[in-house]
Amino acid sequence: MQLKNDRYLRALMKQPVDRTPIWMMRQAGRYLPEYRATRAIAGDFMSLCKNPELACEVTLQPLKRYPLDAAILFSDILTIPDAMGMGLYFGEGEGPRFTKQLTDFMDVMQLPVPDPEVELRYVMDAVRTIRRELNGEVPLIGFSGSPWTLATYMFEGGSSKTFSKIKKLMYTEPEVVHILLDKLTQSVILYLNAQIAAGAQSVMIFDTWGGVLTPHDYREYSLSYMQQIVSGLTRFADGRPVPVTLFTKNGGLWLEEIAATGCDGVGLDWTIDIRHARARIGDKVALQGNMDPSILLGTPERIRQEVQAILDGYGMGSGHVFNLGHGITPDVDPEKAGVFIEAVQSFSRTYHMNTEIAEDDE
């Protein structure tokens, strides 16, 4: 089926577009009253994730409200550890937690590599359902957490401020961490390729906690494994390329090395000026980002000013997917998100006036 709007995919491949495409990290989330209502029907977050029909419903909710250029699978970055038997759950108002926690070599060795069409079948069924219901309107993004990020949660038991458990192991028994990262890398490759086979048209790897590492440790424990994943992914399906985006939060120090992995796009958080990022790597890869989500708490005028500043920073031409520098927060007024999206769509056309589009999306 031919896509009616493929701006997002074309921008990631640095092909001409008529305006800068936009989607938002965590665009299906608690800031939307319709999402909260559906989550209440499901009962809890994981029940919502594991119900393909409801996962499809919340994936499509932001697209019904806003003219976004991509849908992203509604799921969680920690589905792989859950499928390994870790027991993922979310307490009310809390972050992710595991009923089990890794502590030593034997715990790691006993972990299975999950079959994405068995233990993670609910995710693949959601991808297939969403792709069918999208009916070619916009592309569908699949995703996974990075091996390093998954490993931090598995050893810490949840979120952490210091990451002391996994870092202690890194500096005392590094081989244990590498065995886990190897298993997770294999699992992520299988998982993302299964999402692509089920209908995902682009994939993204969220390296949420890569930025807590030293430069040397980032290369050894995070980047090298993401590079293996990029090398192992299906890069062509449905008659067109399947772009891959890597996002390391607080990863501005390592942009050149991230771009050298072979990925198509690099996600940026708000701690780096997109002008500088384009000067460093924008001739090699597309850039995604990078407005501070907190600006959506500001006035409409302030939101529009920031959109204009980021568009000015990137400059003319394709290769920019507008997004937030991290996920939209639950306290954002949906009307403010609408202001943001409308500003990107209306302001960005002037940055693409000298490009020729092979096919009109409108």
Catalytic pick from 31, 153, 191, 221? Answer: 153
Q: How many CB atoms lie within 10 A of CB 34?
A: 15
Catalytic pick from 26, 235, 240, 280? Answer: 26
- Cβ neighbors of 186 (< 8 A, separation 6 or more) are 113
> Does the active-site annotation cover 30?
yes
DSSP letter at 318 equals: S
| Region for residue 305 given its phi and psi (left: phi exceeds 0; alpha: psi -120 to 50; beta: otherwise) | alpha
DSSP letter at 158 equals: B
The helix/strand/coil state of 290 is strand
C-alpha to C-alpha distance for 254 and 258, rounded to whole angstroms:
6
Catalytic pick from 39, 131, 278, 304? Answer: 39
Catalytic pick from 30, 219, 235, 280? Answer: 30
> Does the active-site annotation cover 132?
no
> Does the active-site annotation cover 89?
no
Would you say 30 is a known binding-site residue? yes
Would you say 238 is a known binding-site residue? no
Would you say 27 is a known binding-site residue? yes
Supply φ then ψ for residue 99, to 5 degrees: -75, -25
Ranges of H-type helices in the chain:
7-12, 33-42, 45-49, 52-65, 79-81, 105-109, 121-134, 147-156, 164-172, 174-198, 215-218, 224-232, 255-259, 274-281, 300-314, 334-347
Catalytic pick from 18, 69, 76, 82? Answer: 76
Would you say 338 is a known binding-site residue? no
Would you say 152 is a known binding-site residue? no
DSSP assignment of 19-46, as one string?
S--B--TT-SSTTSHHHHHHHHHHSSHH
Would you say 128 is a known binding-site residue? no
> Does the active-site annotation cover 349?
no
What sign does the dihedral 153-157-158-163 (CA atoms) show?
Answer: negative
C-alpha to C-alpha distance for 248 and 282, rounded to whole angstroms:
16
Would you say 28 is a known binding-site residue? yes
Which residues does the annotation mark as catalytic? 26, 30, 39, 76, 153
Residues making up the annotated binding site for substrate are 26-30, 76, 153, 208, 326
